[in-house]
Chain A
Amino acid sequence: MKLAVWTYEGPPHVGAMRVATGMKGLHYVLHAPQGDTYADLLFTMIERRGHRPPVTYTTFQSRDLGSDTADLFRSACEDAVARFSPEAIIVGASCTAELIQDDPGGMAEAMGLPVPVIALELPSYQRKENFGADETFYQIVRHLAVPCARSERPTCNILGPTGLGFRHRDDVTEITSLLADMGIEVNVTAPMGSRPSDIARLGAAHFNVLLYPETAEAAARWCEKELGQPFTRTVPMGVGATRDFVAEIRRLVPEATAPSEAGLRLPWYAASVDSTYLTGKRVFIFGDATHAIAAARIARDEMGFEVAGLGCYNREFARPLRQAAKEYGVVPLITDDYLELEAAIEAAQPEMILGTQMERHIGKRLGIPCAVISAPVHVQDFPARYSPVMGFEGANVIFDTWVHPLVMGLEEHLLHMFRDDFEFSDEAGASHHGTAAARPAAAERAPEPAAEPATGEVVWLDAAERELRKIPFFVRGKARRNTESFAAARGVAQISVDTLYEAKAHYAR
Chain B
Amino acid sequence: MTAMPPARGCGNAPVLKERGQREVFCGLTGIIWLHRKMQDAFFLVVGSRTCAHLLQSAAGVMIFAEPRFATAILEETDLAGLADAQDELDREVARLLSRRPDIRQLFLVGSCPSEVIKLDLGKAAERLSARHAPHVRVLNYSGSGIETTFTEGEDACLAAMVPALPKTQARELLLVGALPDVVEDQALALLDGLGIGPVRCLPARRADDIPAIGPETVFALTQPFLGETHAALIRHGARHIAAPMPFGEEGTTAWLAAIAREFGVDAERFEAVTAAPRARARKAVEAATRTLSGKRIFFFPDSQLEIPLARFLTRECGMEAVEVGQPFIHSEIAGPDLALLPEGPVISEGQDVDRQIDRAREARADLTVCGLGLANPLEAEGLTTKWAIELVFTPVHFYEQAGDLAELFARPLRRRAALKLEAAE
* A residues apposed to B, CB below 8 Å: 1-7, 9-11, 13-14, 33-42, 44-45, 48-52, 56-62, 64-65, 76, 79, 83, 94-96, 99-100, 124-126, 128, 358, 361, 364-365, 378
Closest residue of chain A to B45 (Cβ to Cβ) is A4
Closest residue of chain B to A358 (Cβ to Cβ) is B64
Tell whether B239 is near chain A: CB-to-CB under 8 Å: no
Which of chain B's residues have a CB closer than 8 A to the CB of A9?
Answer: 49
Closest residue of chain B to A94 (Cβ to Cβ) is B50
- A52-B373 in contact (CB<8A): yes
Tell whether B88 is near chain A: CB-to-CB under 8 Å: yes
- A1-B50 in contact (CB<8A): no
Tell whether B72 is near chain A: CB-to-CB under 8 Å: yes
- B50-A4 in contact (CB<8A): no
Closest residue of chain B to A46 (Cβ to Cβ) is B57
State A125–B76 Cα separation when bound (angstroms).
5
Which of chain B's residues have a CB closer than 8 A to the CB of A365?
Answer: 64
Pick out which of these stretches binds chain A: B140-148, B191-199, B203-211, B400-408: B140-148
- Nearest 4 interchain pairs by C-beta: A35-B145, A35-B26, A50-B380, A40-B373
B337 vs chain A, min Cβ distance (A): 25
Q: In this complex, which of A35, A65, A99 has the most chain B Cβ atoms within 10 angstroms of its Cβ? A: A35
Q: A34-B24, A40-B373 are in contact. Are A5 and B67 (CB under 8 A)?
A: yes
Closest residue of chain A to B87 (Cβ to Cβ) is A1
Q: A1-B85, A1-B88 are in contact. Are A44 and B376 (CB under 8 A)?
A: yes
**CB < 8 Å neighbour of B96 from A3, A38, A59:** A3
State A458–B238 Cα separation when bound (angstroms).
61
Which of chain B's residues have a CB closer than 8 A to the CB of A50?
Answer: 376-377, 379-380
State A141–B49 Cα separation when bound (angstroms).
27
- A34-B149 in contact (CB<8A): yes
- B22-A49 in contact (CB<8A): no
Q: A1-B89, A5-B63, A126-B76 are in contact. Are A10 and B49 (CB under 8 A)?
A: yes
- B54-A38 in contact (CB<8A): yes
- B49-A33 in contact (CB<8A): no
Chain B 87-113: CB-based contact to A (< 8 A → 1; otherwise 0): 011011001100000000000000011
Which of chain A's residues have a CB closer than 8 A to the CB of B115?
Answer: 62
**CB < 8 Å neighbour of B145 from A10, A33, A49:** A33
State A49–B145 Cα separation when bound (angstroms).
25
Closest residue of chain A to B63 (Cβ to Cβ) is A6
**CB < 8 Å neighbour of B372 from A45, A61, A378:** A45
**CB < 8 Å neighbour of A1 from B57, B58, B92, B354:** B92
Q: In this complex, which of A59, A126, A365 has the most chain B Cβ atoms within 10 angstroms of its Cβ? A: A59
B386 vs chain A, min Cβ distance (A): 15
Which of chain B's residues have a CB closer than 8 A to the CB of A96?
Answer: 48, 50, 112-113, 116, 145-146
- A33-B73 in contact (CB<8A): no
Chain B 19-55: CB-based contact to A (< 8 A → 1; otherwise 0): 0111111111100000000000000001011101111
State A457–B147 Cα separation when bound (angstroms).
57
Which of chain B's residues have a CB closer than 8 A to the CB of A57?
Answer: 21
- B53-A10 in contact (CB<8A): yes
Which of chain B's residues have a CB closer than 8 A to the CB of A36?
Answer: 26, 50, 145
Closest residue of chain A to B95 (Cβ to Cβ) is A3
Which of chain B's residues have a CB closer than 8 A to the CB of A60?
Answer: 146
Tell whether B374 is near chain A: CB-to-CB under 8 Å: yes
Q: A1-B85, A96-B112 are in contact. Are A33 and B53 (CB under 8 A)?
A: no
Tell whether B336 is near chain A: CB-to-CB under 8 Å: no
**CB < 8 Å neighbour of A100 from B74, B116, B373:** B116
Which of chain B's residues have a CB closer than 8 A to the CB of A5?
Answer: 63, 67, 69-71
Tell whether B375 is near chain A: CB-to-CB under 8 Å: yes
Which of chain A's residues have a CB closer than 8 A to the CB of B354?
Answer: 79, 83
Tell whether B248 is near chain A: CB-to-CB under 8 Å: no
Which of chain A's residues have a CB closer than 8 A to the CB of B48?
Answer: 11, 95-96, 124-125
Which of chain B's residues have a CB closer than 8 A to the CB of A79?
Answer: 354
**CB < 8 Å neighbour of A37 from B22, B70, B71, B113:** B22
Tell whether B265 is near chain A: CB-to-CB under 8 Å: no
**CB < 8 Å neighbour of A2 from B67, B75, B85:** B75
- Contacts A11-B53, A64-B146 supplied; 13 other A-B pairs, CB < 8 Å: A4-B49, A5-B69, A5-B70, A6-B64, A33-B146, A34-B149, A36-B26, A38-B26, A38-B57, A62-B147, A95-B112, A124-B49, A125-B74
Which of chain B's residues have a CB closer than 8 A to the CB of A1?
Answer: 46, 72-75, 78, 85, 88-89, 91-92
Which of chain B's residues have a CB closer than 8 A to the CB of A83?
Answer: 354
- B377-A125 in contact (CB<8A): no
Which of chain B's residues have a CB closer than 8 A to the CB of A361?
Answer: 64
Tell whether B287 is near chain A: CB-to-CB under 8 Å: no
Which of chain A's residues have a CB closer than 8 A to the CB of B29?
Answer: 38
- A41-B373 in contact (CB<8A): yes
Q: A2-B72, A34-B145, A41-B57 are in contact. Are A56 and B52 (CB under 8 A)?
A: no
A377 vs chain B, min Cβ distance (A): 13
Chain B 143-180: CB-based contact to A (< 8 A → 1; otherwise 0): 01111010000000000000000000000000000000
Which of chain B's residues have a CB closer than 8 A to the CB of A35?
Answer: 24-28, 54, 112, 144-145, 149
- B71-A4 in contact (CB<8A): yes
28 residue pairs of the A-B complex, CB under 8 angstroms, read A1-B78, A1-B85, A2-B75, A3-B72, A3-B92, A4-B72, A5-B67, A5-B71, A9-B49, A11-B48, A33-B146, A34-B22, A34-B149, A35-B24, A35-B144, A37-B22, A38-B26, A38-B58, A39-B53, A41-B372, A44-B376, A49-B376, A50-B376, A52-B373, A96-B112, A96-B113, A96-B145, A365-B64
State A45–B73 Cα separation when bound (angstroms).
26
Chain B 368-394: CB-based contact to A (< 8 A → 1; otherwise 0): 000111111101100000000000000
- B377-A52 in contact (CB<8A): yes
A249 vs chain B, min Cβ distance (A): 37
Which of chain A's residues have a CB closer than 8 A to the CB of B82?
Answer: none
- A99-B79 in contact (CB<8A): yes
Q: In this complex, which of B20, B69, B146 has the most chain A Cβ atoms within 10 angstroms of its Cβ? A: B146
B356 vs chain A, min Cβ distance (A): 13
State A384–B264 Cα separation when bound (angstroms).
60
A55 vs chain B, min Cβ distance (A): 10
Closest residue of chain A to B71 (Cβ to Cβ) is A4
Tell whether B129 is near chain A: CB-to-CB under 8 Å: no
Tell whether B56 is near chain A: CB-to-CB under 8 Å: yes
State A35–B28 Cα separation when bound (angstroms).
9
Which of chain A's residues have a CB closer than 8 A to the CB of B69?
Answer: 5
Interface members, chain B 394-417 (any A CB < 8 Å): none
Which of chain A's residues have a CB closer than 8 A to the CB of B56?
Answer: 6-7
Which of chain A's residues have a CB closer than 8 A to the CB of B72?
Answer: 1-4
Which of chain B's residues have a CB closer than 8 A to the CB of A38?
Answer: 25-26, 29, 54, 57-58, 373
Q: A3-B96, A34-B22, A52-B374 are in contact. Are A10 and B50 (CB under 8 A)?
A: yes
**CB < 8 Å neighbour of B21 from A10, A76, A124, A125:** A76
Q: In this complex, which of A10, A96, A358 has the most chain B Cβ atoms within 10 angstroms of its Cβ? A: A96
Which of chain A's residues have a CB closer than 8 A to the CB of B419?
Answer: none
